[in-house]
Amino acid sequence: MQQQAYQKYLNGDYKGALSDFDVACKLDPNDSFSLKYRGVTKQMLGDYKGSLEDLNIADKLEPNDLFTLQDRGETKRLLGDYKGSLEDFNIADKLKPNDLFTKNQLELTRMEMSKTSQNENKQTNSKCEWKIIFPANTLFEIEGIKYIDILKLSPTCSEFKEVNENHLKLIKKIPNFEIKEAQWLLNGLQEQLFNNCIEIEKRRIEQNPFDNSLGDEQKMILSHFDKLCKETIHSEKVSILKVWHGTSQQKAKSIMKLGFINAATLDEGWFGKGVYFTTNIDYAIKYSMISSKSEDELCLLCSYVIISNPFPITEEMGLSFSGKGNYKHFQSHIVLVKSNTNNPNSMSYYPSSIDDHQYNEIVIFQESHILPRLQVVLKKKNNTPPQNISNSSNASSWSIDQVCEWISKIGLSQDYSSSIRINKIGGKALSTFKTKEDWKDIDIVAVGDVRVLCMEWNKLKFD
């Protein structure tokens, strides 16, 4: 059950993984592996308090476990416990000095701690997520599309850190995919229209011209989306939401040139004839896989949308808005959805309740309420099991996966595999590791482990 749960976690089936981890923990309440992975699964599902409870128990059963400390530190940060987060990451840093993830999290926690001390309510922060000023020499233009190549920026520059914090790190949490390209989109006209609509929306809110008369279930859905809107950093007194649209690279290029509606992306849709978005990245990826010819050209467009006078669609309403325009005077539709089948590849999602939903969908009817900001091209990670290294006498031909398998076979920690992958150590690179200093260069510093590596390395054959 433990391995079945873990495999579901790796495949991104977090609800399925949680269910299986629950069973595993009942069978063995002292199973630290299941507890810590159930904790991180709960974190992925947004249950931060439940995540913290599991990780605390796992830490008692297996003190000073690097994985547990890192994930508990992240969970505490997400809960706003910055002091506790720093304590965990400082211990993790002592256990494994110079670990990239730990260093990044320490910096991020200190940064958020500083922001919070300056302004507890980030909604009043003068900064806006979609308003980042980049150096002029980083601007590119191809076929009339102006953009900043984010991956070519220095990781230490403030602009990269801001995009990474608010956008890229959200994608990096999705298993089985990695970021191939990331472009910050610049379109002065679209931004001007978007800003004008924000001002119009402010006046509408002040005048309060709408009498929505929503039902109780609709009010609960509206409250859920209000909380999501507060996660987007800006100072405008308007509901603005950071959302994702899954498509192909070809369609994305057309959208960037012509806009969503002019690029014929208006979806007849089950919840209204408009442009569809979601805050759930893994859900957007599903739509990208439908649109794309290859899993190596999946594309996500991150946009900011004005949630103007939204109409919540409830489970009881079903598909009654299929193919129709906006309902009455409401200018957007919002809905929580759930699949009606256990098939993970199915795209049949229907309106659901607050307690039972899997994803959300937002339907925008006015293009001026949409500001496309970031294009991210994804590629599927190669999860093919590595060739058994015992079948290869020439270590020079090993892949990175095979080097990781060798690390495991000689009895060393799997934590070292991350160093191998980060530094891209395949067989050819491995053949150059002739001294203990070579291993220290990739953060493998424990004296005993380095000696084992040097001894086992001498047994390998290199052509």
Question: Top-level CATH class of 2-118?
Answer: mainly alpha
Q: What is the pLDDT of residues 282-325, one digit of tens each?
A: 999 999 988 877 776 789 999 999 998 899 999 999 888 988 88
Q: How far is CA 279 from CA 186, 240, 241, 295, 360, in A?
A: 22, 12, 8, 21, 7
Q: What is the pLDDT of residues 123-145, one digit of tens each?
A: 433 478 898 888 877 888 887 78
CATH 3.90.228.10 domain residues, the chain: 145-379
SS (H, E, C) 288-315: HHHHCCCCCCEEEEEEEEECCCEEEECH
pLDDT of residue 375: 95
Give the sign of the dihedral formed by CA 199, CA 201, CA 206, CA 209: positive
CATH 1.25.40.10 domain residues, the chain: 2-118
Higher local confidence (pLDDT), 104 or 243? 243
240 membership: H or E segment, kind and range: strand 240-248
Among residues 354, 325, 247, the alpha carbon closest in space to that of 293 is found at 247
Q: In a 3-state reduction of DSSP, which class is residue 127?
A: coil
pLDDT of residue 262: 61
Tell me how long the chain is: 463
- Has residue 160 got a pLDDT over 50? yes
Distance between CA atoms of 333 and 166, rounded to whole angstroms? 25
* Total Cβ atoms within 10 A of residue 284: 27
Q: The domain 145-379 is classified under which CATH number: 3.40.50.300, 3.90.228.10, 2.102.10.10, 3.40.1130.10?
A: 3.90.228.10
- Has residue 377 got a pLDDT over 70? yes
For the question of whether the overall pTM of this predicted structure is more than 0.85, the answer is: no
CATH 1.10.150.50 domain residues, the chain: 389-457
Question: Which pair of structure tokens corresponds to residue 401?
Answer: 């996966």
Question: Top-level CATH class of 389-457?
Answer: mainly alpha
